[in-house]
Structure 1
Amino acid sequence: MKFSELWLREWVNPALDSDGLEMQLSLAGLEVDECQPAAGEFSGVVVGEIIKAEPHPNADKLQVCTVSDGEQEHQVVCGAPNARTGLKTAFARIGAVLPGDFKIKKAKLRQVESQGMLSSEKELGLSDNHEGIMELPEDATLGQDLRFYLNLNDMLFDVDLTPNRSDCLSIAGMAREVGVLNRTRVNPPIFKRVPADIDDSIEITLQAPQACPKYLGRVIKGVNIQAATPIWMKEKLRRSGIRSLDPVVDVTNYVMLELGQPLHAFDLARLDGGIQVRMATKDEKLTLLDGAELALSEDTLVIADEKKALALAGIMGGEDSGCTPETQDILLEVAFFDPLALAGKARDYGLHTDASHRFERGVDFQLQERAMERATELLLEITGGQPGPVVEAVEENHLPQRPDVTLRKKRLEQLLAVRLADSEVEDILSRLGLEVTDQGEAWLVKVPSYRFDISLEVDLIEEVARVYGYDQLPVKAPKASLLLQSQPESHISLRQLRSTLVARGYQEAVTYSFIDPKWSRVFDPEVTPLALANPISTELSVMRTSLLPGLTKALSHNQKRQQSRVRLFESGLRFLPTDQGLVQEPLLAGLISGSRLPESWHSQGESVDFYDIKGDLEALLALNAAPGSWQFRPAQHPALHPGQTAEVLRQQQDGQWLAVGWVGALHPQVAKQLDLRNQAYVFEVRLESLQAGEIPRFKSLSRFPEMRRDLAVIVDQHQAVGELLQEAENQGGEWLQKVTLFDVYQGKGVAEGKKSLALGLTWQHPSRTLTDEEINAQVDQIVTAFSQSFAAELRS
């Protein structure tokens, strides 16, 4: 909201200078972005009149003007196209100083002497208009200082209002705020109700009352659209950032700035029948005032007559019904539009107007009658004409409701950390235009029609704090009795898991929770993912059922940027649709690719393999102090290499083994689709199973010697070693301490299709030395179990 300080002070005049007013508004939540003079620094410029204008003898585009300043006549050479006899304009005398410290001196232009300069608005720092010299009204007093004549010792405020403060998008709203903040009386201009001089009217039909519950129209006949807009109105518009066009448009813009209610005028002769406020029809088109032709969507509200759309409601008028220099009769319209009905509509058509800016945020739904009378009064003053009666169409049940709001006194004190006197609170709210009723422990507050932002108790508390002054509120630290949350000792925190992976060279990644449907099918073809109702794009249109698509895409992204060695992990949710609803399950996933070690003089550049990723995962499993409760089992996964994939199993309290994750090499076809340069290995495990640990228990060291036996058994080459190790632990008795695989051999001496496994078995008793007979018995039991379960043979 840009406005003139002098215009504001016509309504309310606090005992503050410009800097004080700027600071006060900003502290009250109405942040002033900029405060600058209404004109550049200049002196010696007066009102002059061109007595005579003749062609320059030596230049086609110049004129030699005789200019009077009321005291004497001066010869001035001017190149402005609008310089003409009888024009009153800004005349910079010799010795005048223009913005930029430009001093006016006698000069010769093409051998003709020039005694001064006729100035444009741009040359005086008034605006960017430099199409010609300034044109002043005929009644301007010759020789009067231009700064005094135009009252240019003014400041322009540009206030950056938050979207909820639409009530301040006018001089009236700003004056109301300044009056409240300074306890100063607001003196608005006296508005006259204009009676009808003629009976001419037009029928108004509301076909979309939810979007437009109130519409007023008034016929004014015999207007002189060629009349000159008063200089005071032009200046107020200019200082608010609006260019003067013609008196009808200027008046509607002026009333919008003054009261906050947008208006529009139609050329009555170009209307066919009555006014209809309706939604656009299919394939309907409209050419706007700026010449743009729009194809309207069916959810767009339009103002129409009986044959065609006339305007985009609350945004911009149409070219076919706009006023022209030939216009004699107009229909002045003013309406209330529901903010939700217009929200985003201007942006849909690539537009943003002063009207749409206000209507989208909310306009006072009781302001229309006042705006109509004010605009009529000004139009008759400037253009003349005969007004007809005001025709009003209104659907009361669709107008906004303003329910009363309760403000509890204790809640106010609690949030502001200060006890304000009841009288002061009531005074603040009353000055804001709210009706306050004291009910003992609380106030019942009736909200005015122009405050769209007040509907809750906290809104009222904010208003009290804002007007009382944020800088006057005490500084108090919040106090609370907080208890430390208990943390089970057996619980492994996510921070511990992250730290372990970071220590092993990983970097944490954060990827989107929504992915491309085709990647969801690649990594989890058996699950139909949840589709987003309003996706960012088709490549991000379903919720992920695995973390692996995001990590593999991140790997591809890194490799394309010359990062050959990549180690990433991510913790996050996957989203699984079920019959009971959407299940959100936390997972931890990791990925490695490239060389095993960073490049150095002692590294041979070996690439990572399955056992690197498995070792990293086992480091995580070791954190929960329950090594015997985990197993790896060969398995198949649609996105992983068939021969290098294992299922991760966790033993439950009932002894059953539950699959909780996967580890393996990325499938060659997946790697090809992603254009990966190196083989990648991944793991993905349920976070809950990783965090469920066991409390370590003390166990004294035995003073007695260990007994070790080594076995070499021949089994099928596809036999999983983990099953043999588990069977050895089951059959080795309670004193078996450790089972180690220390050699795997295939070749000479071992039949084709077989492999030799060398196992080291270690026993130790806590209170005595074990005998050979006891150890041999356990070894025999293990060998028998191997033979029966796995068809294993002792290697000779």
Structure 2
Amino acid sequence: MKIPLSWLKEFVSLPAKVSAEDIAQAFVSVGFEIEGIDYQGKDLKGPLLVGKVLSIEELSGHKKPIRYVGLDLGSGKTRFVICGARNFKVNDLVVVAVPGAVLPGNFAIAARETYGKVSDGMICSAKELGISDEHAGIIVLPEGKVGSDAIKLLEIEDVIFDVAINPDRGYAMSVRGLARELSASLKCKYIDPASNVQVKKLNAIKSPKAIGVKIEDKTGADQIFIRTLDQVNTKISSPIWMQRRLEKCGMRSISLAVDITNYVMLELGQPLHAFDADVITGGLRVARANKFSKLVTLDKVERKLSADNLLICDANSALALAGTMGGLASEVTSQTTKIALEAAHFDPISIARNSRFHKLSSEASRRMERNTDPALTEIASARAAQLLIDLAGAKYLGSSFAGLAIKPRKIKISVEKVCELVGAKYTLKQVKDALILIGCKVTGSGSIITIEVPTWRPDLSNTADFAEEIARLVGYDQIPLRLPTGKSGAKLSTMQNRKRQIALMLANQGYTEVINYPFVNQQLVDALGFTGDRAKSFKLANPMSEDFPLLRTHLLPGLLTTLSRNINRGAKDLALFEIGSVFRNISPLGKVVLPTTERKPSQKV
């Protein structure tokens, strides 16, 4: 997952002199590999200004469309530049690099004559500024003061970390999760972004116009919140700060409503979906596909449904592949005015099956498959609703909920057992401090402590899980280095000693030890005249080579083959030996009993 340092700083009080390399190492020390660091704006030099398009003159007679554009950069004088892009019009705000600026790739901007005109600068695309791969057109700003610093407006100077997230750490696929891990590693103050959301304020608003919801398939979900908003102005562009944060995390801006759901997903880790509430009939429900045979998803692909697919439906039709992708029929468009926001805690296996069956992996499904925090359904939906109110002028109608109350999980562990598993001596304070850093509530002062497991850590269920957390947060470098000792002590067995003595004796007499493949063929066995037990071998079901399908019953075939090969290559003085296993089919093999896959094996198996 890509995450900008500027976003992390909102929730972690980092030391003043910490470097990007220090932060990367802090992530690594608690088990998160850094796949790359992108220093945005490092090789960009201003002046880079916000400009307003005053005029556009189309230049003809060239191989491609060319425009001669007049710009207002706040100086009181019109600046003219040549531009080939077509995605802007008069009065649009654009990003302009003026002479003296240097763009990534050491591309210096200077006034120059081209196409019979003097171009006194350049209108820039996102790719030319090194902030994204988008180069279909130049950047058109939704807001900005003419003549102001575009580098500051676009928050270009930032550090982007590409963090590898393990499959069992779904909570870390968010700013919330990674900020918590970073604060734990650096022992810095952490502010949980979920704690800033005003949930009670929205929950107090009730209305019969709110879209209802129910969970028909209890195996598919245990929590779902629907928040309904009206008078949503979906034609408004997303603010620059939101667009830039999405870009830094590797996503593109689509529309205000969609951007808000993606933004909250990145911030808190809870996928959301926005439905056009006016197309919903009779409320929403979580159900299996059953009678529904097809669904056209947002990518405009008609998908044939399996009866086992988990869906979000209304009374008449399937509206979305649950936790994976929405349906085209209920898509939020520029004409939408009423929105139903959905946040749910789905069964991870059901979402993984949805994704695999349709060969459709999305940002939402990748998080749902790893399991999300059930407590976030209420919080994330409230956060998205508040953003729609603040940015799109929406009116909140109310919310509906279906599912079970979240019950706290409490587990007792032994501190002594933790020390035994890790191989290090930890004090009670070290154990408690480490567990508190990951969000646990710890009680008890003796060797047995009680832990209330945070809702975002479903992977913590036994002593070994907590031992792993304690080891990584206290520091792997604090575990003493000791070689394991066998039950009978660190010594060779009688047979191992005998083999080594024989090998050493032969080597002292000039023999060379060889290690051959234990495979032979029937022709070689017959040629050496092996009979009886010495000829009874095993035939391999999947031999490395069809020329050697049998396991050897004697070491001699391999030794003779090696001897022949060396003589053919000019060797004259040879003395070889081999110590290895032989395989003789002289006693019946026991029957292999495999556990059935039709049901879960018993503890005895």
Q: TM-score, length-normalised on structure 1? A: 0.63
Counterpart of 1:135 in structure 2: which amino acid? V
Instruction: Note if 1:63 corresponds to 2:73.
Output: no
Change over 3 Å in CA distance of 1:377–1:485 after alignment to 2 = same
How much identity, in percent, do the aligned residues show?
Answer: 31
Q: State the superposition RMSD in angstroms.
A: 3.5
Residue number in structure 1 paired with 2:229: 220
Q: Name which of 163, 168, 172 aligns with 1:168.
A: 172
Counterpart of 2:36 in structure 1: which amino acid? E
Residue number in structure 2 paired with 1:28: 30
Aligned-residue offset at 1:413: 2.8
Q: Name which of 534, 541, 563 aligns with 1:550.
A: 541
Instruction: Note if 1:378 corresponds to 2:387.
Output: yes
Q: Helix, strand or coil: the match of 2:126?
A: coil
Q: Deviations over 1:390-421 (max 9, x none)?
A: 1001134xx6x664333322223334444333
Change over 3 Å in CA distance of 1:599–1:80 after alignment to 2 = closer
Residue number in structure 1 paired with 2:599: none
Q: Helix, strand or coil: the match of 1:289?
A: coil
Alpha-carbon distance between aligned partners in 1 of 2:285 and 2:124, rounded to the nearest angstrom: 48
Residue number in structure 1 paired with 2:84: 79
Residue number in structure 1 paired with 2:431: 425
Residue number in structure 2 paired with 1:7: 7
Residue number in structure 1 paired with 2:295: 286
Alpha-carbon distance between aligned partners in 2 of 1:505 and 1:167, rounded to the nearest angstrom: 50
Q: Deviations over 1:124-178 (max 9, x none)?
A: 111111111111133x122222222222221001110111111111111112222
Residue number in structure 1 paired with 2:106: 101
Change over 3 Å in CA distance of 1:486–1:197 after alignment to 2 = closer
Bigger mean CA deviation after superposition, 37-46 or 309-318: 37-46
Instruction: Note if 1:366 corresponds to 2:385.
Output: no
Q: Helix, strand or coil: the match of 1:14?
A: coil
Q: Helix, strand or coil: the match of 1:278?
A: strand
**Contact map agreement 2:292 2:317 (CA 8 A) in 1:** no
Alpha-carbon distance between aligned partners in 1 of 2:250 and 2:565, rounded to the nearest angstrom: 63
Alpha-carbon distance between aligned partners in 1 of 2:13 and 2:565, rounded to the nearest angstrom: 75
Q: Name which of 348, 355, 360 aligns with 2:357.
A: 348
Change over 3 Å in CA distance of 1:137–1:343 after alignment to 2 = closer
Counterpart of 1:240 in structure 2: which amino acid? C
Q: Helix, strand or coil: the match of 1:84?
A: coil
**Contact map agreement 2:71 2:78 (CA 8 A) in 1:** yes
Change over 3 Å in CA distance of 1:420–1:600 after alignment to 2 = closer
Structure 1 or 2: larger strand share? 1
Residue number in structure 1 paired with 2:348: 339
The residue correspondences of 1:560-639 to structure 2 (distance < 5 A) are 566=548, 568-569=550-551
Aligned-residue offset at 1:184: 2.2
Aligned-residue offset at 1:475: 2.8
Aligned-residue offset at 1:331: 1.1
Change over 3 Å in CA distance of 1:81–1:276 after alignment to 2 = same
The residue correspondences of 1:398-409 to structure 2 (distance < 5 A) are 403-409=409-415
The alignment of Structure 1 onto Structure 2 pairs a total of residues equal to: 541
**Contact map agreement 1:94 1:115 (CA 8 A) in 2:** yes
**Contact map agreement 2:229 2:398 (CA 8 A) in 1:** no
Aligned-residue offset at 1:212: 0.7
Alpha-carbon distance between aligned partners in 2 of 1:61 and 1:504, rounded to the nearest angstrom: 74
Q: Helix, strand or coil: the match of 2:436?
A: helix
**Contact map agreement 1:405 1:447 (CA 8 A) in 2:** yes
Aligned-residue offset at 1:52: 1.5
The residue correspondences of 1:134-149 to structure 2 (distance < 5 A) are 134-138=139-143, 140-149=144-153
Q: Helix, strand or coil: the match of 1:388?
A: strand
Aligned-residue offset at 1:214: 1.3
Change over 3 Å in CA distance of 1:590–1:264 after alignment to 2 = farther
Residue number in structure 1 paired with 2:587: 686
Alpha-carbon distance between aligned partners in 2 of 1:334 and 1:110, rounded to the nearest angstrom: 54
**Contact map agreement 1:507 1:567 (CA 8 A) in 2:** no
Counterpart of 2:488 in structure 1: which amino acid? L
Alpha-carbon distance between aligned partners in 2 of 1:504 and 1:178, rounded to the nearest angstrom: 53
Q: Helix, strand or coil: the match of 1:258?
A: helix
Alpha-carbon distance between aligned partners in 2 of 1:165 and 1:505, rounded to the nearest angstrom: 44
Instruction: Note if 1:52 corresponds to 2:52.
Output: no
Change over 3 Å in CA distance of 1:197–1:136 after alignment to 2 = farther
Q: Deviations over 1:38-74 (max 9, x none)?
A: 3462222211111111222554711111112111321
Q: Helix, strand or coil: the match of 1:449?
A: coil
Counterpart of 1:447 in structure 2: which amino acid? V
**Contact map agreement 1:228 1:247 (CA 8 A) in 2:** yes
Q: Name which of 423, 437, 440 aligns with 2:443.
A: 437
Residue number in structure 2 paired with 1:205: 214
Residue number in structure 2 paired with 1:758: none
Alpha-carbon distance between aligned partners in 2 of 1:504 and 1:176, rounded to the nearest angstrom: 55
Change over 3 Å in CA distance of 1:305–1:346 after alignment to 2 = same
Residue number in structure 1 paired with 2:518: 508
Q: Helix, strand or coil: the match of 1:213?
A: strand
Change over 3 Å in CA distance of 1:601–1:365 after alignment to 2 = closer
Alpha-carbon distance between aligned partners in 1 of 2:100 and 2:22, rounded to the nearest angstrom: 35
Aligned-residue offset at 1:210: 1.6
Change over 3 Å in CA distance of 1:687–1:148 after alignment to 2 = same
Alpha-carbon distance between aligned partners in 1 of 2:462 and 2:230, rounded to the nearest angstrom: 47
Counterpart of 2:518 in structure 1: which amino acid? E
Alpha-carbon distance between aligned partners in 2 of 1:152 and 1:427, rounded to the nearest angstrom: 37
Change over 3 Å in CA distance of 1:567–1:434 after alignment to 2 = closer
**Contact map agreement 1:48 1:142 (CA 8 A) in 2:** yes
The residue correspondences of 1:456-471 to structure 2 (distance < 5 A) are 456-471=462-477
Q: Deviations over 1:280-323 (max 9, x none)?
A: 11561111100111111122111111111111111001111111
Q: Helix, strand or coil: the match of 1:342?
A: helix
Alpha-carbon distance between aligned partners in 1 of 2:240 and 2:288, rounded to the nearest angstrom: 40
Q: Deviations over 1:409-464 (max 9, x none)?
A: 22233344443332232122123211112252221211111112211111111111
The residue correspondences of 1:668-687 to structure 2 (distance < 5 A) are 684-686=585-587
Change over 3 Å in CA distance of 1:304–1:554 after alignment to 2 = same
List gaps (5 residues or longer) in structure 2. 504-511, 521-536, 569-579, 591-605
Change over 3 Å in CA distance of 1:47–1:599 after alignment to 2 = closer
Instruction: Note if 1:263 corresponds to 2:281.
Output: no
The residue correspondences of 1:632-647 to structure 2 (distance < 5 A) are none
Alpha-carbon distance between aligned partners in 2 of 1:323 and 1:199, rounded to the nearest angstrom: 22
Aligned-residue offset at 1:13: 2.3
Q: Helix, strand or coil: the match of 2:425?
A: coil
Instruction: Note if 1:472 corresponds to 2:478.
Output: yes
The residue correspondences of 1:681-720 to structure 2 (distance < 5 A) are 684-686=585-587
Aligned-residue offset at 1:486: 7.0
Change over 3 Å in CA distance of 1:54–1:485 after alignment to 2 = closer
Residue number in structure 2 paired with 1:649: none
Residue number in structure 2 paired with 1:18: 20
The residue correspondences of 1:236-247 to structure 2 (distance < 5 A) are 236-247=245-256
Instruction: Note if 1:482 corresponds to 2:501.
Output: no
CA radius of gyration, larger in: 1
Aligned-residue offset at 1:367: 1.1
**Contact map agreement 1:264 1:332 (CA 8 A) in 2:** yes
Counterpart of 2:109 in structure 1: which amino acid? I
